[in-house]
Structure 1
């Protein structure tokens, strides 16, 4: 895809959800663990059952905190180009609203998600009509993607994917400290056909969603990592007589949660300062396949 498209995608996906798409990841063993991780652990049947239960319960345990600070780092690579983004802010775990600052390729964007609507403002840039904010209705985006809008509006919702797992899908890697907090690290593989929009996801991404999660002593999600390859369809704008190969987009995301219970106050900008870009975003998405 064009660099401009990658940049916009990186900014939007990074702050809103971590990953709308999930796909085939690297099947190799995890690389060196961070922060003093113990070696890959072999579990007894009882330990395996306990780990599976912990991973399944992670989203509910995290949501019980009602709010948290969140950071998310993402990397997108396609057609020899790479885009990175870094998002930081506060997430309302109960409502899925958030207030964040996202930086991609040296540009910082103020971003809010309120009632499943995404608002963005870039310093020094105005939307059509001279308005400082643009908005995209995530419910409409979700409908086009064949997904539930909560999968887009709530970053922590991706942890609920783990509810589809069985004991065979979970491996305890070891224990680590993240920002001084003790965590247990699990490697998880989820059958994508069990997820909303799973049939479509399988065609683009393969049969499994690989994740790594780090849970604290209270069972809450402290870190989630995904590394995947998305097979995108050829652009709908391509000429009929061309044989353009489907694009392959490599995506890597790392989300971290901290300061559970911190105050979250996400409000929509004044309506007169907002330009609705939902229809344009949907058209561009269709053109890119």
Structure 2
């Protein structure tokens, strides 16, 4: 067996996609006329606490990777589980991958292209508990901590903007929404952590660390909120050290059953086992 392998195409986007996200979607009409933009955004942020599962579609541009698209489903409670199919559109043929997180292990599948590099196996397993956060292989994914972040944390950042304003009403995927926008700096978000409860502070801190690593110091935020005060669509933009960040999440459902299974063992290369064999050798 080869002791040196290349992580399947698109894996460097995995941490970014796991780091990003927002809340669920629903139908309805726009918010009450007396609600201010700041109040509407705050109410949608509060509603993230009621979300156990989400399904969403992602399109946009990631630093280094260029244009990406993905569809995902994620369970936030009682234990984190997720599956995502993604494609790096500017990376040529075969630049697709599937990511699964289940039972505290991350699996990255690259199909036939990955199998060429991994003795016929199309999946690589990263056992987060076995490898630990200090492993070099985990650094390629951003860090192990990115896998256990609640994606709803990203959408609540707009509550920290001082310039939140209402853009207008728009229909997104057949749902009437009200569009809001604003800007926030990572430094201001860091300062605001002291005013949050412990759970919210921990969620936001993980996200902010990711942006700091990318070199993003300011985010332009857009939120499309439906008549039930849930975010239907979410967009974030910023300038990173290695290129622009511009991600739009459209939410397809929430609090629906989510089932994620580990890939067949016969098709999976276990990175922890491979490292152990390498050390023994």
Give the TM-score normalised by the residue count of structure 1: 0.63
> Which of the numbers 194, 205, 208 marks the counterpart of 1:196?
205
User: Which residue pairs with 1:26 in the alignment?
Assistant: none
SS class of match (1:54):
helix
Residues 1:9 and 1:227: Cα distance change in structure 2 (over 3 Å): farther
The CA distance in 2 between the partners of 1:87 and 1:227, in whole Å, is 17
The CA distance in 1 between the partners of 2:84 and 2:209, in whole Å, is 32
In structure 1, runs of 5+ residues without a counterpart are 20-37, 232-247, 281-289
4+ long deviations beyond 6 Å: none
Could you tell me how far 1:201 is from its partner in structure 2? Answer: 4.5
> Which of the numbers 112, 119, 138 marks the counterpart of 2:107?
119
Could you tell me how far 1:147 is from its partner in structure 2? Answer: 8.7
> Which of the numbers 97, 105, 114 marks the counterpart of 1:109?
97
Residues 1:114 and 1:279: Cα distance change in structure 2 (over 3 Å): same
User: Which residue pairs with 1:213 in the alignment?
Assistant: 223
User: Which residue pairs with 2:199 in the alignment?
Assistant: none
Could you tell me how far 1:48 is from its partner in structure 2? Answer: 3.9
User: Which residue pairs with 2:18 in the alignment?
Assistant: 16
The CA distance in 1 between the partners of 2:217 and 2:109, in whole Å, is 37
Residues 1:203 and 1:117: Cα distance change in structure 2 (over 3 Å): closer
Give the TM-score normalised by the residue count of structure 2: 0.64
1:155 is the counterpart of 2:151: yes
Pairs aligned (count): 229
The CA distance in 2 between the partners of 1:200 and 1:119, in whole Å, is 21
The CA distance in 2 between the partners of 1:117 and 1:277, in whole Å, is 11
In structure 2, runs of 5+ residues without a counterpart are 1-5, 22-29, 191-203, 275-281
Could you tell me how far 1:115 is from its partner in structure 2? Answer: 4.0
Contact 1:212–1:225 (CA under 8 A) maintained in structure 2: yes
After superposition, the CA RMSD in angstroms is: 3.9
> Which of the numbers 124, 127, 131 marks the counterpart of 2:121?
131
